[in-house]
Amino acid sequence: MESSSSSLSSPPEFDYLFKLLLIGDSGVGKSSLLLSFTSDTFEDLSPTIGVDFKVKHVTVGGKKLKLAIWDTAGQERFRTLTSSYYRGAQGIIMVYDVTRRETFTNLSDIWAKEIDLYSTNQDCIKMLVGNKFDKDSERTVSKKEGIDFAREYGCLFIECSAKTRVNVEQCFEELVLKILETPSLLAEGSSGVKKNIFKQKPLESDASTSSCC
């Protein structure tokens, strides 16, 4: 998976644009995972406020892709906020911390339900990610449990570490490959339907409407 320079480069040329979403409890490492993926760095981060947004251009399977990745706050108080970001996402990454069991159980108790409730894409690809697997000694959630969960909810599964960057690239690559295999998601993400309200021609307003206000 090669990656090109990030967002501010001149005219974006890409075949598909995918919207990805990171969810999960506070402190499981969503922002770290994203940072590790987009800028190959790892640092201690304060809790995310609201939502964060990053863009990364990658080439997968010969296709140029633009990934718009939304990183949401896990904190309870922001939950009302994050619900509105499920809309239109082609891929949703559920993250838990392999050393904190409650973050895993909350996935089925809370987060999976949130997806059912708010996601607008029937076919959207879900992925289960067990983060912090470098701390193998403190592990409280086994790989087997993760696999079982993934099977039950019909999602992909991987364990990774944002800190050591093991499996981080693979995590996103697998998800993207799966999206590429799904025709309905592909149709949405193709740059053909890309629209920008300030560039496209404005709608024709019929004369009767426009003449009076």
Partner 1 sequence: MSSSSSILTPAQKYAAGALFGLALHQAQIHQTRPLGFPSVDDDDGRSSDERVSSGSSSDSVSEDPQLWVHESSCLLRPIFKFLEIDNKAWSGLEETSGCSPPKHHVGAFLRLLAEESGGMPSEAVDKEHALANGVDAMASSMERNSVDDESKKEKHREYKNACQEKFSSAEIVSKTKQEEEKVPDNSPKEISHKQSITEQVHIQASFEFDEKQLEEVSYPRKVAVLYELLSACLADIPGDDKKCTRQRKGYDARHRVALRLLAAWFNVKWIKLEAMETMVACSAMALLKEEESKEETQSPKTSWAKWKRGGIIGAAALTGGTLMAITGGLAAPAIAAGFGALAPTLGTIIPVIGASGFAAVATAAGSVAGSVAVAASFGAAGAGLTGSKMARRIGDVDEFEFKAIGENHNQGLLAVEILVSGFVFEKEDFVRPWEVQHDNLERYALQWESKNLISVSTAIQDWLTSRLAMEMMKRGAMMTVLSSLLTALAWPAALLTLTDFIDSKWAIAVDRSDKAGKLLAEVLLKGLQGHRPVTLVGFSLGARVIFSCLQILAESENSAGLVERVVLLGAPIAIKDMNWEATRKVVAGRFVNAYSTNDWILGIAFRANLLTQGLAGIQPVEVPGIENVDVTSIIDGHSSYLWSTQEILEQLELDTYYPIFSPPAFKT
- Chain residues binding partner 1 by CB under 8 A are 7-8, 12, 17-19, 46, 48-55, 66, 68, 70-71, 77-78, 80-81, 83-84, 87-90, 120-121, 187-191, 193-198, 202-203, 205, 207-213
Rounded Cα–Cα distance for residues 73 and 50 (Å): 5
Residue 127 CB, shortest distance to partner 1, in Å, is: 17
Sequence-ordered alpha helix ranges (H) in the chain: 30-39, 79-82, 101-106, 112-118, 143-153, 168-181, 183-189, 207-210
Which tokens go with 3? 């990656």
**Beta carbon of residue 124, minimum distance to partner 1 (angstroms, whole number):** 10
Is the four-CA dihedral 174, 129, 83, 45 of positive or negative sign? negative
Q: How far is the CB of 195 from partner 1 (least distance, A)?
A: 6
63 versus 100: smaller Cβ distance to partner 1: 63
Between 90 and 103, CB nearer to partner 1: 90
Measured from the CB atom, is 120 or 137 closer to partner 1? 120
Nearer to partner 1, 137 or 205 (CB): 205
| Least distance between partner 1 and beta carbon 32 (Å) | 13
Q: For residue 156, give Cα distances in angstroms to 7, 45, 148, 202.
A: 27, 27, 11, 41
Cα–Cα distance measured from residue 59 to residue 65, given in angstroms and rounded to the nearest whole number: 6
Residue 84 beta carbon to partner 1: minimum distance, rounded to whole angstroms: 4
Residue 101 carries which side chain, given as an amino acid letter?
R
- Residue closer to partner 1 by CB (options 58, 89) is 89
